Amino acid sequence: MTVDNLLIKISNATNPAIEDQISGRDCKVLRSLASSVNSHIFITENQSRLLVKILRENSEKIKNFSEEIKTTLSDISWSKPFRHIEQIKKLYIKKNEEQESILFIEMSFSQEIRQILTNLTKTTDGLTSHVNTKNWQCELTEKNIVALYEALSPFEFEIDEAITDYYKTIKSWSKTEIFDQFLITDIEHKNFQKAITDDLGLSTSIDQNIINDRSMRYQYLVENAKNPGENLTEYIANRSKTRVYVDKKTHSISDTIESLVNLRRLPLLVVFDTYVNNKYFENLQILSEALENNGIFDRIGVYFRLPNDETGKHFNQLIKEKEYNYRLDDDTQVAVVMSGKLPKFFLTNAWKPMSVLALDTKMGLRHGKTSVYSNCCDLIVEWADEPVTMDLRIKI
């Protein structure tokens, strides 16, 4: 008697049926395996091990087949070859929907590899999986190349030759040489000096906070370590990523804007979250007060309006009273938009923000045109009750 034929006998028995003898979970698995055995595709080797395990554990419970189970399992055989599943393990570069090159992982299901990739989401940039967790993708960066190559090569992945070449090149670099090459004190290129001057002006008193803050914008390194300071300005200036979470219970909008002013981070783009639409009027009031506290009274544009219901009327009236209808141009100090509805003229206008302030974010600036537009900025501050859990954030 082969194991698969014994399974069919057991599943066809009615007096008693297996549902009356073993747990519902094991019964469901046996029924499913019996269905596969009866089909032309048969079962896989892994499924055969599971079948043997369940029969062995339940041999005493399935009393009318107890002896047959013991006999069959003492000399295991099968009526057909096992179904072969092609093992796919590939790491390569491809284009995404936006025609950007990304790292793409294609693989057959593996709990072990999936767990490794899940852990890597904490240390890589943009590593995400599709619904079935068999395909993953992430940004094409040096850090991601090294992380994925070293994590997947032990599992005999077929790795694109270009990725292997990139990996060897990256590992050949000397950290000290690269670091010294981009130290601000060693950069003498005229374009670099001109960019800094155009940004800050010749008469600006540049302190260490501003030097640290601009390091991400101009891609230079500083000799002193970036240690978080004792105040909000120093925390923002010493950020390690473009996005910074500010706890609204600890720091007000006024405090946040004061830090942006100290870092010479105007013009400012303020984003109202469409998921928190019950706070539009309240946040506009707070924002208005915060701007005035920091000496910002004019050249402010709020580029959306609300329906003329009870709340909407107050919101629209406040815009009128404060004259927050300044036309977007090079002199605009503050521009206010909704998270999911960026006006088209932003895409054709030369105006660009030096910083972005997102108010009461629930989903964060992750989706939509406003999110894509904001990515041009190296400082995005998310002022909310709690950080967006799906992203790693600097918490202040």
Q: pLDDT class for 363, splitting at 50, 70, 90?
A: low
Identify the pLDDT of residue 129: 87
Identify the pLDDT of residue 193: 65
Please state the rounded mean pLDDT for residues 5-12. 92
Predicted confidence (pLDDT) at residue 229 exceeds the cutoff of 70: no
The fraction of the chain above a pLDDT of 90, given in percent, is 57
Identify the pLDDT of residue 393: 44
Query: Could you tell me if 352 and 325 are in contact, meaning their C-beta atoms sit under 8 angstroms apart?
Result: no
Predicted confidence (pLDDT) at residue 182 exceeds the cutoff of 70: yes
Please state the rounded mean pLDDT for residues 180-187. 76
